[in-house]
Amino acid sequence: MKFFDRIFHGSNDIFSVATKAVDAAIAEHGEDATMAMPDTAYNMSCQLAYKGQKVMKLKDLKTALANINEMNTREQRTAAIFKAGIGTAMAGEIIEACKYVNTATPYEGTKYHGHFSDAEVRELGVPLVTNDIPGFVVIIDPAPSEKEAADLIRGYQERGIFVFLVGDIIDQAEAMGIEMGFPVRVVAVGPEIWAVSHVVSFCVRAAMIFGAIEGGDWDGFMEYTFVRLHAFVNAFAPVNDRTLAFGAGAVAMGFPVITNDMNYIRPIPKTILLQPNTKDFIETSLEARDIHIKITKIDIPVAYSTAFEGEIIRRPDMQIEIDGSRKDCFELVEIKDVKEIEDHSIQLFGPDIDEITPGSKMEAAFIVEVGGKNVSPDFASVFERKIHAYLNCASGVMHTGQRDMIRIRISKDDFDNGFRLKHLGEILYAKIKGDHDAIIEKCQVKIYTDPAKCKELRAYANDVFNQRDERLGSLTDETVENFYTCILCQSFSPSHVCIVTPERLGLCGAVSWLDAKASNELDPNGACQIVPHQKCIDERIGAYEDVNEAVKKYSNGALEQVSLYSILEDPMTSCGCFECICGIEPMTSGFVITTRDHVGMTPLGMTFSEMASMTGGGVQTPGYMGHGKHFIASKKFLKAEGGIARVVWMPAALKEQLAEKINATAKDLYGIDNYVDMIPDENDMQDPGDPAELYEILAAKGHPVLGMEPLI
Ligand code: SF4
Ligand code: ZN
């Protein structure tokens, strides 16, 4: 059979499986049964994206199938195979969706992930823009051997590439002991080829969430996925017609396919590449997609990659644990005169891991001293906060917490491979200096493990932390000369600009004013540019002529004006990777806040995903705004609308996390004690989606919003 005909044949084949799945689902549940994928505001997103069609009930799938059928024209033209390929992905989505008709968790209890939530799509926003994840690979079907499967997966992992596995390669990965899951960026999507549709759904949702591409805009999706998502496919021989049909869809989205099937596949430059040697898959793939990866060489005996950042080391697997909650531990970065620093000196004072009983807790204090002409003392906290990510990226090392509340676990495997404390120092040296080499000239690391010394130094470190907090607390929007832009997210959300101020961090939660300042000094032409705020237009809403000029310039004219402190008048845009979303609640004239981590309903009758879909893509949407968690306790949060007293609902976990700071702000602004207790959460409500019940609870708690002017 000719190459194109094989694609049409595969596409037809998937279409008939989809038709049978729909018939079976309707026979079982009736055609009026609801059809909703869990935790997404973009139900059946492939249908929504490419056809602009909303699927609500099983009967809608009949129309969807008819649409797909029309897409397979069997014309011998490239455009026709692309269409058939996308149709195949849409049919695949239908097959998978039918598994979700009766349950939100059809893959529960299996090793497969299935559908991705909107929160998962959003979570990848920041690592994508910072290039921590330089690309995505979908690996289909079993490799020639288990070892080749493992080598390929690990090779990608070490380069930070996000790996989606489909089909029997998942069993091979399992047999080789590869840890799989969203946090370690190797996801076993599903056992059958149509599970690929979950990845397609992931990509088109990225286009809708970050790029504001609207359903039905076929060309818009094609362009977005090609230009912005650096994805590609590796398919092992023999590639059957079904896989080929999905491959055509991938190619249509701009994702090249690399395969070792030399017999039946016709190569197309930059698009379908033949590579007989699976060992060279990685190189061929990265080249095809033009992905360049900077690898920092670190002198340690274990693998190091951002892919290991989310890895969990369980108690039975740990050699030792450095535990700040039980022992005297801390990590501290200090800025010193370069003359006092011996570059790359890593010293250990006290016993190493060998001398500690396996499985037990130990003291450890890390002091990193850095120096350079342009290193401001304020940057110590910027570097220090990165230690968490830096240490976590070592395979077999887990780090949580900060300052004197750290916990570091080192695995038995790492210990057996010769990993010792000095290697933590090597990581800190290589990353802190390497990532900031434009300003850091010298760096040295001192590690203390002697209990008495750790106790003494901990008191010293706490003094440093206290002084630092006092200094940071005194930084307000009024006291600093400049704000900063951050346009990192423009690689996904082309017109979005964050204006970062001391009292308003970037909406991803990862960029504070100090981070932006440091980033500007490291790379003066980079994402963070200086924004003066001398020409005030309206102090109440935080409108400035110079800020507007900056926003206009850096959004390439997409945005004319923005207010820093209002959600109703010219609010800041949202890119899509925000930690929290807040939205107006008309009955109480207040605002409801929820976070990516909270999957439940809110009193707006919407979940996080649904609220989040009200804004994004760099567009202003008065009444809805994405923001960082720590902005909530700022005196500038909702300032124009009356401040934090307008907050009428938050998830309990978020309240708990921010309680101290929110209470202090409310005390300062309104003289209210324990304000957090007045904000209802999911535990206070019988029906978390009922605004009338919310109103009653607010009245019973004496919440201040009820005494405020109506908003609209
Ligand atoms: Fe993106 Fe804004 Fe965070 Fe920068 S500060 S990474 S633009 S969300
Ligand atoms: Zn973003």
Contact call for residues 323 and 329 (beta carbons, < 8 A): yes
* Listed residue (659, 707, 649) closest to 682, CA to CA: 649
Residues 636-661 have a mean pLDDT of 97
More confidently predicted of 132 and 581? 581
- How far, in Å, from the CA of 487 to the mean position of ligand 1? 6
Ligand 1: which atom is nearest the Cα of residue 516?
A: 5
Band the pLDDT of 409: cuts 50, 70, 90: very high
Ligand 1: which atom is nearest the Cα of residue 527?
A: 4
* pLDDT tens digit sequence for 431-471: 999 989 889 999 999 999 999 999 999 999 999 998 988 88
Structure tokens at 668: 């300062």
- How far, in Å, from the CA of 380 to the mean position of ligand 1? 21
- How far, in Å, from the CA of 599 to the mean position of ligand 2? 20
- For the full predicted model, state whether its pTM sits above 0.85: no
Residue 294 has pLDDT above 80, yes or no: no
- How far, in Å, from the CA of 549 to the mean position of ligand 1? 19
Ligand 1: residue whose CA is nearest its atom 3? 508
Band the pLDDT of 245: cuts 50, 70, 90: very high
Contact call for residues 346 and 424 (beta carbons, < 8 A): no
Ligand 1: which atom is nearest the Cα of residue 498?
A: 2
- How far, in Å, from the CA of 428 to the mean position of ligand 2? 27
- How far, in Å, from the CA of 660 to the mean position of ligand 1? 26
Ligand 1: residue whose CA is nearest its atom 4? 486
Structure tokens at 674: 């324990």
Q: pLDDT averaged over the chain?
A: 94
Contact call for residues 255 and 233 (beta carbons, < 8 A): yes
Contact call for residues 588 and 706 (beta carbons, < 8 A): yes
* Distance separating alpha carbons of residues 206 and 576, to the nearest angstrom: 9
Pocket test for ligand 1, best of 131, 133, 492, 498 (most atoms within 8 A of CB): 498
Residue 295 has pLDDT above 80, yes or no: no
Percent of the chain with pLDDT over 90: 83
Residue linked to tokens 């079982």: 28
- How far, in Å, from the CA of 517 to the mean position of ligand 1? 13
Angle between helices 241-252 and 196-211 (to 10 degrees): 10
Band the pLDDT of 191: cuts 50, 70, 90: very high
Name the helix (H) or strand (E) containing 569: none
* Listed residue (252, 206, 234, 255) closest to 86, CA to CA: 252
Residues 478-501 have a mean pLDDT of 92
Pocket test for ligand 1, best of 495, 497, 529, 575 (most atoms within 8 A of CB): 575
* Distance separating alpha carbons of residues 440 and 442, to the nearest angstrom: 6
Band the pLDDT of 493: cuts 50, 70, 90: confident
- How far, in Å, from the CA of 214 to the mean position of ligand 1? 22
Pocket test for ligand 1, best of 130, 500, 508 (most atoms within 8 A of CB): 508
Contact call for residues 651 and 682 (beta carbons, < 8 A): yes
- How far, in Å, from the CA of 590 to the mean position of ligand 1? 26
The residue ranges of DSSP E strands in 419-489, in sequence order, are: 442-448, 482-486
Ligand 1: which atom is nearest the Cα of residue 129?
A: 6
> How many Cβ atoms sit within 10 Å of the Cβ of residue 621?
16
Band the pLDDT of 687: cuts 50, 70, 90: very high
Ligand 1: which atom is nearest the Cα of residue 500?
A: 5
Residue 457: per-residue pLDDT: 97
Residues 555-566 have a mean pLDDT of 95
3-state secondary structure of 384: helix
Ligand 1: residue whose CA is nearest its atom 1? 489
* Distance separating alpha carbons of residues 613 and 605, to the nearest angstrom: 13
Name the helix (H) or strand (E) containing 190: strand 186-190
Ligand with minimal distance to 206 CA: 2
Cis status of the peptide bond prior to 502, with omega within 30 of 0: no
Task: Give me the residues paired with residue 582 across strands.
Answer: 593, 625
Residue 365: per-residue pLDDT: 98
Residue 296 has pLDDT above 80, yes or no: no
Helices within 105-255 (DSSP H only) = 118-123, 125-129, 146-158, 169-175, 196-211, 218-228, 241-252
Contact call for residues 458 and 330 (beta carbons, < 8 A): yes
Contact call for residues 492 and 228 (beta carbons, < 8 A): yes
Ligand with minimal distance to 211 CA: 2
Band the pLDDT of 374: cuts 50, 70, 90: confident
| Cβ contacts of 292 within 8 Å, gap of 6 or more | 134, 286
Pocket test for ligand 1, best of 487, 511, 513 (most atoms within 8 A of CB): 511
More confidently predicted of 668 and 492? 668
Residues 359-387 have a mean pLDDT of 93
* pLDDT tens digit sequence for 55-82: 999 999 999 999 999 998 999 998 999 9
* pLDDT tens digit sequence for 264-280: 888 888 899 999 999 99
Ligand with minimal distance to 627 CA: 1
Query: What number of H helices and E strands is found in the chain?
Result: 21, 23
* pLDDT tens digit sequence for 305-364: 888 888 889 999 999 999 998 999 999 999 999 999 999 999 999 999 999 999 999 999
Ligand 1: residue whose CA is nearest its atom 8? 508
Pocket test for ligand 1, best of 124, 126, 520 (most atoms within 8 A of CB): 126
| Cβ contacts of 142 within 8 Å, gap of 6 or more | 149, 167, 168, 169, 171, 172, 236
Ligand 1: which atom is nearest the Cα of residue 577?
A: 8
User: Which residues does a 6 A CB cutoff place in the pocket of ligand 1?
Assistant: 126, 129, 486-489, 498, 500, 506-508, 510-511, 575, 577
CA distances from 343 to 128, 323, 381 (A): 32, 28, 20
* pLDDT tens digit sequence for 461-472: 999 998 988 887
* Distance separating alpha carbons of residues 662 and 656, to the nearest angstrom: 10
Pocket test for ligand 1, best of 492, 507, 515 (most atoms within 8 A of CB): 507
Tell me the residue type at 519: S
Ion ligand 2, residues whose Cβ is below 5 A away: 125, 489, 575, 577
DSSP designation for 414: H
Ligand 1: which atom is nearest the Cα of residue 490?
A: 7
- How far, in Å, from the CA of 488 to the mean position of ligand 1? 6
* Listed residue (296, 275, 295) closest to 285, CA to CA: 275
The dihedral sign for the CA sequence 638, 639, 644, 646? negative
